């Protein structure tokens, strides 16, 4: 039997229990050092907390273009662990190489990138230059240092708009704006690199709509200027910084007419990176037993005698060294439901009004999460109320 030898099956409960029990258990990570590009940003900082709590060492790399310089100190305060930070812009190839010469990384999580859909339409060259040049410089440095284990921050935006919901990982990809295309193109680059060099192990996590904040109120999302995204906007209305919530479209074909999205608590998303990191490590263990894998691969045809076609497909999938997973909750929540949850969280009614639909928006977007559940053992645990309570706490403490 070879089916599950290379990547042992784990139940969702196994992983959730591990996450709950292993906080601050340094022994589990064997002192692995992970580089987090964009590590001071919204998702990067929460992931740093989860990795440090799990016993990993982390080095943040950030140019602080969209994050604050005191974030590493705040991460240290939450975790009571040291959080090294290098102020580097990924578009500076020499500086990136210097960081790789200074540390011995086991893996990289690549969050860094600019991410405003509207701005990307206005400034396409800036988006392609920053996100693609930065990624290519990172990949060159990884190649040169023989660090070929990568988790990439992808997005639900890579799914072509004509796909029906829920979105499955094998749907056709495409984008409607330069920001989205940078994600599609980077996924393509990683897939091509993995195809030619099997030493690369890449997990691409396609995030849906991350909201919420760490329960300490010490870290959270800090958009510059007037927020584009729903949650930070609602939070600012609740804080009295903006006059009213604009509901972009209340005539969609959805239960209450407003747009439906798959909102995920940023701490669940951060824990998704932890389980992806552990999956990556199982991929590495599998590749270390390469001779067995290759022998098995050769015998796939004969092996199917006693196994169904589905078994074989799943086994082959698990052998791939570049994988994509949706990270969402699998549940849709409407704009109006989010506003109601935020009103419960802040204890007051918020001023709101219906506005025309926002160009380019879809009625309903949510993930199929079964692949991440089955293979990563990942399942989001926190609900909409917790997301809004944590967002509101952060809004009240944010600078």
Does residue 337 interact with ligand UFG by CB under 6 A?
no
Q: How far is the CB of 158 from ligand UFG (least distance, A)?
A: 8
The Cα 303–Cα 296 span in angstroms is 8
Query: CA 31 → CA 28, 57, 212, 234, distances in Å?
Result: 8, 6, 29, 40
Q: Report the residue number, 64 or 355, with the smaller CB distance to ligand UFG.
A: 355
Q: How far is the CB of 361 from ligand UFG (least distance, A)?
A: 4
Does residue 45 interact with ligand UFG by CB under 6 A?
no
Is 56 considered catalytic here? no
Q: For residues 197-226, which are near ligand UFG according to CB under 6 A? A: 208-209
Does residue 37 interact with ligand UFG by CB under 6 A?
no
Interacting residues of 154 by C-beta distance below 8 A, sequence separation 6+: 183, 186, 187, 204, 205, 206, 207, 324
Q: Report the residue number, 83 or 230, with the smaller CB distance to ligand UFG.
A: 230
Q: Dihedral angle at the C-alpha atoms of 94, 97, 99, 102, nearest 10 degrees? A: -120
Q: For residues 63-92, which are near ligand UFG according to CB under 6 A? A: none
Q: Report the residue number, 259 or 330, with the smaller CB distance to ligand UFG.
A: 259
Binding mask 238-277 for ligand UFG (x = CB under 6 A): --------xxx----------x-x----------------
**Cis before residue 51, ω within 30 degrees of 0?**
no
Q: For residues 301-320, which are near ligand UFG according to CB under 6 A? A: none
Q: Report the residue number, 138 or 230, with the smaller CB distance to ligand UFG.
A: 230
Decide: residue 348, CB within 10 A, 0-12 exposed, 13-18 middle, 19+ buried: exposed
The Cα 249–Cα 215 span in angstroms is 32
Query: CA 75 → CA 41, 122, 171, distances in Å?
Result: 11, 34, 37
Query: Which of 33, 145, 229, 307 lies at the binding interface for ligand UFG (CB under 6 A)?
Result: 229
Does residue 112 interact with ligand UFG by CB under 6 A?
no
Does residue 117 interact with ligand UFG by CB under 6 A?
yes
Provide the CB-side half-sphere exposure for 86 (13 A, CA): 21
Of the residues 179, 207, 279, 366, only one is catalytic, namely 179
Q: Report the residue number, 79 or 157, with the smaller CB distance to ligand UFG.
A: 157
Interacting residues of 208 by C-beta distance below 8 A, sequence separation 6+: 156, 261, 262, 263, 264, 326, 327, 328, 329, 365, 366, 367
Q: Of 373, 166, 51, which is closest to residue 381 (Cα–Cα)?
A: 373
Does residue 327 interact with ligand UFG by CB under 6 A?
no
Does residue 157 interact with ligand UFG by CB under 6 A?
yes
Interacting residues of 112 by C-beta distance below 8 A, sequence separation 6+: 37, 38, 41, 44, 61, 62, 63, 90, 134, 138
Q: How far is the CB of 146 from ligand UFG (least distance, A)?
A: 33
Name the DSSP letter for residue 304: G
Q: Of 274, 265, 271, which is closest to residue 390 (Cα–Cα)?
A: 265
Does residue 333 interact with ligand UFG by CB under 6 A?
no
Query: Which of 8, 65, 358, 396 lies at the binding interface for ligand UFG (CB under 6 A)?
Result: 358
Q: How far is the CB of 174 from ligand UFG (least distance, A)?
A: 13
Instruction: Give the binding site for ligand UFG (CB under 6 A).
Output: 115, 117, 155-157, 208-209, 228-230, 233, 246-248, 259, 261, 335, 358, 361, 365
Q: Which residues are catalytic?
A: 179
């Amino acid at each position: 039997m070879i089916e599950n030898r290379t990547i042992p099956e784990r139940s969702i409960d196994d992983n959730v229990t591990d996450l709950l029990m292993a906080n601050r258990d340094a022994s589990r990570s064997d002192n692995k050092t992970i580089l987090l590009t964009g590590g001071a940003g919204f998702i990067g900082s929460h992931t740093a907390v989860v990795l440090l709590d799990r016993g990993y060492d982390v080095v943040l790399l950030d140019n602080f273009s969209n994050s604050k310089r005191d974030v590493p100190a705040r991460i240290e305060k939450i975790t009571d662990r040291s959080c090294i930070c290098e102020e580097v812009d990924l578009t500076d190839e020499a500086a990136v190489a210097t960081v790789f010469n200074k540390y011995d990384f086991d893996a990289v999580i690549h969050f860094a990138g600019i991410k405003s859909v509207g701005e990307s339409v206005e400034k396409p060259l800036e988006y392609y230059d920053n996100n693609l040049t930065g990624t290519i410089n990172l990949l060159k440095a990884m190649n040169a240092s023989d660090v070929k284990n990568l988790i990439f921050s992808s997005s639900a935006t890579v799914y072509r708009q004509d796909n029906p919901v829920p979105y499955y990982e094998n749907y056709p990809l495409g984008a409607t704006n330069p920001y989205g295309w940078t994600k599609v193109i980077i996924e393509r680059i990683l897939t091509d690199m993995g195809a030619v060099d099997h030493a690369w192990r890449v997990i691409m996590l396609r995030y849906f709509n991350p909201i919420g904040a760490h329960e300490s109120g010490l870290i959270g999302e800090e958009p510059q200027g007037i927020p584009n995204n729903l949650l930070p906007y609602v939070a600012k209305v609740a804080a009295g910084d903006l006059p009213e919530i604009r509901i972009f479209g209340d005539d969609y074909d959805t239960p209450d007419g407003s747009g439906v999205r798959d909102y995920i608590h940023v701490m669940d998303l951060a824990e998704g990176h932890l389980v992806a990191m552990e999956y990556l490590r199982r991929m590495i263990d599998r590749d270390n037993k390469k001779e067995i894998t290759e022998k098995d691969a050769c015998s796939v045809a004969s092996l199917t005698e006693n196994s169904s076609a589905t078994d074989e497909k799943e086994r082959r999938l698990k052998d791939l060294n570049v994988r994509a997973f949706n990270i969402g909750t699998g549940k849709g929540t409407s704009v109006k439901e989010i506003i109601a949850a935020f009103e419960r969280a802040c204890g007051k009614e918020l001023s709101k009004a219906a506005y025309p639909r926002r160009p380019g928006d879809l009625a309903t977007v949510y993930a199929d999460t079964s692949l991440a559940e089955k293979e990563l053992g990942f399942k989001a645990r926190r609900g909409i109320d917790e997301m809004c309570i944590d967002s509101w706490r952060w809004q009240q403490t944010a600078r």
